[in-house]
């Protein structure tokens, strides 16, 4: 496992932008972002393969969110543009250090988690 620390959440108006950061303490196979709205289950947002930088997204954020990583800084980012009120949630950074089998969009495929950062989009 690794230690993950997120930052960058906050309050923004409908249509605004935010950038989340996640600093990782060690090597990973892949990293991802999940979110959990009030009273909802944790849902997959995006993931990135650590060695290649290849990125994948859930359909609802395609064209609005961009996941990236800076290998030198051991940091992953989530640039969120055109934010909508339905994007309001606690956003969690996650890492898979074991090349887990199973659906890569499932939380159970990641063995390390950050503490979460709140993103609130006002209408």
Q: Is the pLDDT of residue 14 over 80?
A: yes
Helix/strand/coil (H/E/C) assignment for every residue in 75-97: EEEEEECCCCHHHCEEEEEEEEC
The average confidence (pLDDT) of the chain is 96
Q: Is the pLDDT of residue 102 over 90?
A: no
Q: Is the pLDDT of residue 99 over 90?
A: no
Mean pLDDT of the 24-28 span = 94
Question: In this predicted structure, what is the pLDDT of residue 15?
Answer: 98
Question: In this predicted structure, what is the pLDDT of residue 72?
Answer: 93
Nearest to 11 by CA among 105, 89, 113: 89
């Amino acid at each position: 496992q690794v230690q993950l620390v997120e930052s960058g959440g906050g309050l923004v108006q409908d249509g605004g932008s935010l950038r989340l950061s996640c600093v990782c303490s060690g090597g990973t196979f892949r990293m991802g972002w999940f979110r959990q709205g009030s009273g909802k289950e944790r849902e997959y947002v995006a993931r990135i393969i650590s060695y290649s930088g290849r990125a994948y997204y859930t359909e609802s954020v395609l064209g609005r969110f961009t996941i990236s990583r800076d290998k030198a800084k051991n940091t992953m980012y989530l640039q969120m543009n055109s934010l909508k009120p339905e994007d309001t949630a606690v956003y969690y950074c996650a890492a898979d250090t074991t090349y887990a089998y199973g659906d890569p969009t499932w939380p159970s495929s990641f063995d390390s988690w950050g503490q979460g950062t709140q993103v609130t989009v006002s209408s």
